[in-house]
Amino acid sequence: MPTRTDPCRIPIAALAAALFVATAAPPAPAQELRAELGRRLARFETAWEEADPPTRALAVTPMEEAVRCFFSLQLGTAAKRLDEAWYAVRGGAAADDVERSAIARGIVVEPRLADSTATGLKIGLPALYGTEPWPTGARIGLTIDTHAGDATATTTRDWTADEIDWDPGVLPEGDHTLAVTCSVGDRRIPCATRGFSRVDRLAERRAALERARSAWPADADPTVRATVAQTADLLAALADGRQQETDYPAARLLRFAEALVAGKGAADGTIAAAARGHDVWLTLATAAGQVPVRLRAPETAAGALPVLVLLHGAGGSENMFFETCGAGRAARLGLERGWLVVAPRQGIFGLGLDVDGMLEALAVHFPIDRTRVFLVGHSMGAVQTSRQVAKHPGLVAAAVGLGGGGTVSKDAAARRVPWFIAAGEHDFGKRGAEALAKQLTAAGSMVTYREIPDVEHMVIVQAALDEVFSFLDGIAARGG
């Protein structure tokens, strides 16, 4: 694996400026690349979880390079390095030129959101890196999964082109998945998947949602108002063809927003019901501010729910802990324990709403256990975790910092919050994590510190998760 000549080899010191740039909102084409990077990272993390330690070690170099490429905004090369890391850990036959050419492809589906009377799809299969054509003799298979009830309806055709106009006929209202495969002879290589949505009477329903934005009763819940506005803006972006960083279930989100409007802004259980076993995208809002979040409640939630707040790193979003960071394993482990899992968005200037405001907004819609509020932060999120503990120590039962650090508060209550801190052996955030652990220890805090071998800055989340949740389980058992 090349290291000295890699185009993304930038000095670690230069990452500080890159981190600042990466937290800014990217342009639409970059959003599509971010989506591709997320899918590749999740695929790699799934394979990494199943690999043995010697095999996992093979991924350190390409993963270090992928992180550097991301922060230097060379997203196509970052995708290539993520694929190389996946090849290294997945086991089985080594990748050959045929597979490498197929896997290098992304997928763009247009229109992403349209009325259910629409029948045509425009599908782009761009090479994210390299210029190699499809392998000789390749046939491109397209399959649509309509997720229609318990049955799966599919349609398949074959082409040999990079841009495809396809009319699969009328699809039912819902959130669908297009899967692309490359076949050469008897060999079949899954390439990519992409979500898209179809909605009955789309224009009419979007117009009704827009009207509702300015017609709330004076006592309408601010989270309901802000969430409907957020959903209306997202639907407009999808309908206009603006690319997004994840596959939003637009049909389901529209129905959710309509239910909120029907409730006239009341905290009537609509949000809690929608979040039970399903991801919802909300904007938590109070008089102090607002913050977009991705949230899920356990499917069989009962009683007051402990709250797990997952704070992403620079260049990430509220989607990261649900889709990557162990292929979404951090969120799943929280849900398995019956916890309410909340991932807020933070940008250059941090969170739009502190943890106290988030809890205030959540308590309107969910029964929450304020004695068991856990913060887990990665990289920049670890710094934010330190900041939230310092500002609101009485609200935090336990804190976790992975691949980064922060400043220790002099407040006595903050020093009583127990911490788990970890960094990878090859993690550029290790120095900050070590410094935080030393400062906390010197202040008399209860601190567990781990350095995990053969791990870099991104995989540290997945590599530490078992110990993280063992630590949190111990705190939860004590009731905070």
Query: Using only C-alpha atoms, what is the Rg of the chain?
Result: 23
**150 φ, ψ to 5°?**
-85, -15
Beta carbons of 342 and 293 less than 8 angstroms apart: yes
Does the structure show a pLDDT above 50 at 150? no
The per-residue pLDDT for 369 is 96
Contacts of 215 (CB under 8 A, 6+ apart): none
The per-residue pLDDT for 419 is 97
pTM of the model: 0.92
- pLDDT bucket at 34, cuts 50 / 70 / 90: confident
Residues making up the chain, counted from first to last: 480
pLDDT digits (tens, 9 = 90+) for 76-97: 999 999 999 999 999 888 888 8
The per-residue pLDDT for 17 is 38
The per-residue pLDDT for 378 is 97
* Token pair 């976790």 in the structure block, residue: 400
Containing 456, the helix (H) or strand (E) segment is: none
Strands (E), 171-236: 174-184, 187-199
Chain-centre distance of CA 401, in angstroms?
Answer: 18
- For β-strands 280-286 and 289-296, DSSP reports them as antiparallel
From 479, 480, 357, select the one nearest 416 (Cα to Cα). 480
Please, what is the average pLDDT of the chain? 89
Q: Is 191 helix (H, G, I), strand (E, B) or coil?
A: strand
* Average confidence (pLDDT) over 415-438: 96
| Count of beta carbons in the 10 Å neighbourhood of residue 347 | 14
The per-residue pLDDT for 162 is 80
Domains of the chain: 12-95 (no CATH), 108-199 (2.60.40.10), 269-477 (3.40.50.1820)
Beta carbons of 114 and 204 less than 8 angstroms apart: no
- pLDDT bucket at 21, cuts 50 / 70 / 90: very low
pLDDT digits (tens, 9 = 90+) for 217-264: 999 999 999 999 999 999 999 999 988 889 999 999 999 999 999 999
Does the structure show a pLDDT above 60 at 125? yes
Side chain identity at 478, as an amino acid letter? R
